[in-house]
Amino acid sequence: MLAKYKGGKLPPKWHPKTLCMKKYTQKGGVLLPAPEKIYLEYKIPPNAIGMMKNDQLSCCLAAYAGHALMLITGHVGAPLIPTDGEIVDFYSAFSGYVPGDPSTDNGGYFTDMYNEWQTNGLCGFKIDAWAQIDTKDLATRMVAIRLFLGVGVGVQLPASAETQFDADETWSMQPGDVPTDGHAILEAGEGSAGHNFETWGYGAQKADNNWDLQCTDEVYVPLTKAVISAANDVAPDSLDYDTLLADFEAIKA
């Protein structure tokens, strides 16, 4: 059980609007070296992403969306930074949370959050769709990060995660660890130690590949036409634009 911070991600849930990222990436595609501008730490300082109420409410999905929104909008223009009130309203819209009623603070589902973000938006910004990535398919995950700036990662945290986070240590599995607490985090890149995550108000949490393999239970990428256009000069051969745009329209039907 998390003691100091909050989680709030419920188990994976199927949704008919969920696309499959693998469909739009070419097999064997090679990405060019990534320009620094596409990563979070070059647009928003790691210590400036904000807690977004996730120390008080089980709103990790809304906090993740807020962090992703900052990254997406900061890449294509001026970053939108949600207020705590906007985060709580967004959380309430997809989870049923009633402000002031702790009995309704029960977290939510990734796909319900994305559906709300696509349908009604966050801070006036709507995503066009979202796509799922196999949790073990690190190659497609990296293509998605390169092209769309970041992915949403659903994990089950072991008790050691909070202690390692507070000590600024890389997340790694410890003897006796049992991943049990659902949490949603933004992954905006990878480094030599493994994964680079953003959560709980901090934008530079590392995790090794073994930790990711054992703790991650779902991965998605929010898709927007604005980012596709911005990514066009990064790796145009790694994405089937025409099919993806056609599917954007199909899910709106």
Q: What is the pLDDT of residues 216-253, one digit of tens each?
A: 999 999 999 888 765 555 545 667 878 888 898 888 76
What is the DSSP code string of 153-219?
Answer: EEEEE-THHHHHHHTT--B---TT----EEEEEEEEEEETTEEEEEETBEEEEEE-HHHHHHHEEEE
pLDDT digits (tens, 9 = 90+) for 31-63: 444 444 444 444 566 677 899 999 999 999 999
pTM score of the predicted model? 0.91
Diameter of the chain measured on Cα atoms: 51
Retrieve residue 73's tokens: 């909008």
User: How far apart are the C-alpha atoms of 98 and 47, rounded to whole Å?
Assistant: 29
- The pLDDT score that the predictor gives to residue 124 is 95
- The pLDDT score that the predictor gives to residue 148 is 85
Helix and strand element counts for the chain (H, E): 8, 7
Alpha carbon 38 to chain centroid distance? 15
Highest mean pLDDT among 20-24, 185-189, 214-218, 242-246: 214-218
- Which 3 state secondary structure label does DSSP give 252? helix
For the chain, list the domains and their CATH numbers. Answer: 19-252 (3.90.70.10)
pLDDT digits (tens, 9 = 90+) for 78-132: 889 999 999 999 999 999 999 999 999 999 999 999 999 999 999 999 999 999 9
Contact call for residues 153 and 216 (beta carbons, < 8 A): yes
Q: Average pLDDT, stretch 201-207?
A: 90
25 against 165, higher pLDDT: 165
* Residue in 2, 21, 8, 15 with CA at minimum distance from that of residue 219: 21
User: How far apart are the C-alpha atoms of 253 and 232, rounded to whole Å?
Assistant: 27
